[in-house]
Amino acid sequence: MPIIIVVAVFLLLLWFFISRYRRCPSDKILVIYGKTGEGSAKCIHGGASFVWPVIQDYQYLDLQPMSIDVNLQDALSKQNIRVSVPAQFTVAISNEPALMKAAAERLLGMHKDSIRSLAHDIIMGQMRLVIANMDIEELNADRDKFVTSV
């Protein structure tokens, strides 16, 4: 009888550890939050980690790029001339540790459409700011500078 109890406890412990071990595919970031010992969250890209029940939980952030169409209308240039600038941006979450942590703090739990909308608004604001500091001639002649500035 005692051997059955030992085997049952062993199988229960094995099941417990296997069920809480989380692997992260290469196109996602595993974000473990709760009591992590590393600040607000622990971010893992392409690895695995054990997630303690009750004190920790996890979610995934998608690394796949998003395409965002921006059609800026009537932005004022440095010379107070209105310009319209259609553009398309491709954005994605970086797998650099500091940027992964920042993305986890700001984007975790948001739906992909909400992230796209937030990125669209940030890009629009940045484009307006850059256009306001450039002449029309600069905008037309040095498009690389414009793109880099945005």
For the chain, the DSSP string reads -HHHHHHHHHHHHHHHHHHHEEE--TTEEEEEEES-SSTTEEEEESSEEE--TTTEEEEEEE---EEEEEEEEEEE-TTS-EEEEEEEEEE----SHHHHHHHHHHHTT--HHHHHHHHHHHHHHHHHHHHHTS-HHHHHH-HHHHHHH-
Residue 141: both structure tokens together: 């002649």
Q: Which pLDDT belongs to residue 39?
A: 78
Name the DSSP letter for residue 142.
-
Classify domain 66-149 by CATH architecture.
2-Layer Sandwich (3.30)
Taking the CA atoms of 73, 77, 83 and 87 in sequence, report the sign of the dihedral they define: negative
Rounded CA Rg of the chain = 24
Tell whether the model's pLDDT for residue 93 goes beyond 90. yes
* pLDDT interval class at 83 (50, 70, 90): confident
Q: Model-level pTM?
A: 0.77
Alpha-carbon gap, residue 139 to 130, rounded angstroms: 10
Whether the CB-CB separation of 104 and 59 falls below 8 Å is answered with: no
- Mean pLDDT across 100-105: 92
- Mean pLDDT across 106-126: 92
Tell whether the model's pLDDT for residue 103 goes beyond 90. yes
Alpha-carbon gap, residue 147 to 78, rounded angstroms: 17
Domain ranges of the chain: 2-62, 66-149
Tell whether the model's pLDDT for residue 141 goes beyond 80. no
Tell whether the model's pLDDT for residue 104 goes beyond 80. yes
Q: Which pLDDT belongs to residue 31?
A: 94
